[in-house]
Amino acid sequence: MEKSKQSANDRNNNNLDMLLRASEACKRRYGKYPNVIGIGVGQEFTHGSPLANNLCIHFYVTQKFSEITLKKLPRFVYARTPDGKIDRSIKINTDVIELKKLSLVCKAGTEIGVIGEAGTITIIFRNKILGSSDFYLVTCAHVAGNLRQSPPTDPSINSSCCNSNTILASTIVNSTQQQGNVFYDIALAKIIPECTPQPELQVIESSVVLQRFLPSNEIRIGMQISCAFPISNVQSATVSSLRTSLPVIVDGREYLFNNLFLIDRMPREGDSGGLLYDGTDAIGILVAKSEGWGLFQPLGEAFEHLQEISPVSISCF
């Protein structure tokens, strides 16, 4: 009997599973090495340019040209079978990605501020829960307040997009760190009545009206996505990694930020909360940056987390 042909999608999924298994093996072996802050799967780069359709193992380091790191990190690793055994018939290339000074960085894309922080509105929406007509905005927790307390001591959010009042909204809930982990960096603020109605689900300086959250399992390496980053004015970027976790210093404390995806453009301070989108699909919320790179979390997942912790029932679309 003739064997059924494997579809291209099946092959891609098998290759991805193989890469993820190799990545987990690398975490166990190299995760504690000096200078290594994370390991994941991403695009392969040469001289700063991505190689089309080439995926590899990423070693995220604080200093790329460290002799101790380069001596120990391999140029390739062997694949792993589903039961965890080494498959020496398949070699997987590796790439060292330098992430120095990793730090946190009214339509979507409008600048906002609180005492001591500046950031960006991710989205504005009218609550779709039956019986509610309130308007809300979403941004980063570290923009609206801090990662240790919800809601913040001073919940006021300021913006110039409300002519009648410098105060645009009041934060009602934000995500917080859990035993040193930040799973989502997101906050919900209610727009004050004097500043409503607002043009909901629109992206600043565009005709885009968002229709849905892109499911996180549809985020792919190599995706070309649009950005609403008002400070850096970065307008587009390429997704350069799968989901990973990296340490970030916030207010003098180190937290492990989870559910991060890398993009190949560097935002600036004040872009935190910036929206990443594709057409009418909302994809991500910008949370951090490094030299040459930006990092976002999937917005759909982050919004679901908000729904779980919010004192009021909310629905965006």
Question: Is the per-residue pLDDT at 237 higher than 80?
Answer: yes
Task: Dump pLDDT digits (tens) for 169-226.
Answer: 999 999 999 999 999 999 999 999 988 888 899 998 889 999 999 999 999 999 999 9
Residue 110 banded pLDDT, cuts 50, 70, 90: low
Task: Dump pLDDT digits (tens) for 260-316.
Answer: 999 999 999 889 999 999 999 999 999 999 989 999 999 999 999 999 999 999 999
The percent of residues in the chain predicted with pLDDT above 70, rounded, is 88
Q: Is the pTM of this model over 0.85?
A: yes
By CB atoms closer than 10 A (0-12, 13-18, 19+), residue 228 is buried
Beta carbons of 282 and 301 less than 8 angstroms apart? no
Question: Is the per-residue pLDDT at 67 higher than 60?
Answer: no
Question: Is the per-residue pLDDT at 9 higher than 70?
Answer: no
Beta carbons of 278 and 214 less than 8 angstroms apart? yes
pLDDT at position 11 is: 46
pLDDT at position 266 is: 93
Question: Is the per-residue pLDDT at 15 higher than 90?
Answer: no
pLDDT at position 113 is: 63
pLDDT at position 165 is: 60
User: Would you list the domain boundaries of the chain?
Assistant: 8-98, 100-317
CATH fold group of domain 100-317? Thrombin, subunit H (2.40.10)
Other Cβ atoms less than 10 A from the Cβ of 16: the count is 15
Other Cβ atoms less than 10 A from the Cβ of 158: the count is 16
Give the pair of three-digit tokens for residue 124.
Answer: 């504005």
